[in-house]
Amino acid sequence: MMAAPSSPPARGAQRAVALVAAVASSLLLLFLAVPIGKLIGAGGLDGVRQLFSDGELRQALGLTAFTATAATLLGVLGGTPLAWLLARRDFHGRAVLAAVLDLPLLIPHPVAGIALLLLLGRESAVGGALLAAGLRVVGTPLGIIAAMLFVAAPLFISGAREAFARVEPRYEAVARTLGDSPLRAFLRITLPMSRRGLIASAVVMWARAVSEFGAIVVLTYNPKVASVLSYDRFTSFGLREALPVAAVLAVLALIPLIALRTLRGADDGART
Amino acid sequence: MKRILVVAAVVAAACGGSRAESSAASVLVVFNAGSLARPLRAALDSFAARDKVEIQQENAGSLETARKLTELGKVPDIIALADEEVFPQLLMPAHVTWYARFAHNRMVLAYTARSRFAAEITPDNWWKVVVRDGVETGRSDPQLDPNGYRTLLVLQLAERHYGQPGLAVRLLRAMPDRNVRPKETDLVGLLEAGELDYIWSYESMARALGLKYVRLPDAIDLSSPADFASYATASVKVRGRGVDSVTFRGRPIVYAFSVPTHAPHREVAERFASWLASADGRRVLRAQGLDALDSVSVVGTGAPAGIAR
């Protein structure tokens, strides 16, 4: 602490900055953690108990996990090449494309639901074709997946783009000079080196998908995902019935988040 | 140091300025049922234009609106609901001591020119049309929305009225869970996007939105006070807290409003309530398609003198 022989006023300024930083970050930490802690404290036990007695709750949680995972897989599948393109290739309209991909984050979620309805409803070309093929989107789990994909995929794409950008292009270039095809260079060099960033982005996307409500409820109200069920319980029975649903969702969502963080922690340890 | 002083002076001036502004215009916080959003908006706008009031309106289902008071402790200045029954069931006596019935409504089957069989549907054949293949009919959630359980009541009354045993079940099968949304206003977008052909709604909403609608016989559309007794023979059970269930009986649709006991801006609220009950208020509501009663009737005690006449 005392090592740096700086002049007294500079040390005072440093101390002031450190103090402000400490206060600001502590306040933010409390602001983020206390509501969740209160939610889990108020409804967590009841929620876990209800897991055993409440079939509708189990169903909603299962549906949420399934649809969020499906949406995330689709997002990773389509988003990875897009993110790579944005990070690595300089092409006409790249800035516009990047902005367009951020747009779903800006649109209010019920509006996003309506936009999807116009694309996927039975009167639209796409929705009509899907329906003819026996795939109904509106009012089914497919609608939930579509809503989740729309609102959450931009988070994966921008995270993956950052992850790719952090990998030195030189390594890819070296692999190419040694005879690798672009795909092979990507699979052997870029992908492993950006793996942690990609996983983290996928986790963020999954978490965002789990929490979505506004766009989902426009497309598919029944069957109900956990967010819709908690709204439904709140409206029909009040806070006491809604808290356990919300709390158990928070608790269960924590499990994959912690697991992945732990994995990454172990990974970090192995690297150093 | 000088710079800090300047900043402080600017901030102080800004605060002073905004405080002066906010005291000039008083605020009126209104929570209302989704189907009242437009007529009340119009009424509030013409009241605000006269009285320099800043309006804060929140639209939600009637039950959700009541929950905002009972569960979240959010208290508006005016609460207006699509079912008068919600007042005694959830809000009296803790939150309100009186409510004023101010409008009627009727259940209708709303549609657009693009709806399948739009050219054929009539008040006599609607129950045959909605069960046809490929026709999608939407309804709102009976757990959350009066329109949702009223739809179920209408189906029962229709079965009896048309003398068709099993009709209610067949009709309900034609409106499966995937066509349900939380409240009737949520269905409008789906209707307009062509996802649904018909939706159960209120006459006031269909009129205000310029939708076509089938006007059903009085005996089944829950509009007529004269049919009180026959409406009451229909009933639906809706899941209640835990394993309980709540029974709703058919009754004429009556809208009601109140000023909560702990309304933050009581004086403005009571002025608006009196104005809403006046001939001027009635005219604005009717212009929006709401069937305002010729005179409001108050249930309970403690209503301001301007309303209870």
| ipTM (interface pTM) | 0.74
CB pairs under 8 A between A and B: 73
Mean pLDDT value of segment B261-271: 94
Is the model's pLDDT at A2 over the cut of 50?
no
Q: Fold for domain B24-104+253-300?
A: D-Maltodextrin-Binding Protein; domain 2 (3.40.190)
Distance from the B269 Cα atom to the nearest Cα atom in chain A, whole angstroms: 25
pLDDT band (50, 70, 90) for residue A240: confident
Nearest to A241 among B179, B180, B241 (CB): B241
The answer to whether the CB atoms of B141 and A221 lie below 8 A apart is yes
Mean pLDDT value of segment B127-142: 95
Nearest to A122 among B67, B141, B195 (CB): B195
| Closest residue in A to B178 (Cα–Cα) | A139
The answer to whether the CB atoms of A232 and B141 lie below 8 A apart is yes
Tell whether A128 is within 8 A of chain B (Cβ). Answer: no
Do B107-249 and B24-104+253-300 fall under one CATH topology?
yes
Tell whether A108 is within 8 A of chain B (Cβ). Answer: no
pLDDT band (50, 70, 90) for residue A6: low
Q: What CATH number belongs to B107-249?
A: 3.40.190.10
The answer to whether the CB atoms of B67 and A235 lie below 8 A apart is yes
Tell me how far the alpha carbon of residue B61 is from its chain's centroid. Answer: 7
The counts of H helices and E strands in chain A are 13, 0
Residue spans of the domains in chain B: they are: 24-104+253-300, 107-249
Distance from the B177 Cα atom to the nearest Cα atom in chain A, whole angstroms: 6
The answer to whether the CB atoms of A238 and B181 lie below 8 A apart is no
pLDDT digits (tens, 9 = 90+) for B173-227: 999 999 999 988 889 989 998 999 999 999 988 988 899 999 999 999 999 989 9
Tell whether A231 is within 8 A of chain B (Cβ). Answer: yes
pLDDT digits (tens, 9 = 90+) for B87-109: 998 899 999 999 999 999 999 99
User: If 0-12 CB within 10 Å is exposed, 13-18 middle and 19+ buried, where does residue B279 land?
Assistant: exposed
Q: CA–CA separation, B20 vs A214, rounded Å?
A: 38
User: If 0-12 CB within 10 Å is exposed, 13-18 middle and 19+ buried, where does residue A73 land?
Assistant: middle
Architecture of domain A54-267: Orthogonal Bundle (1.10)
Q: Is the pTM of this model over 0.90?
A: no
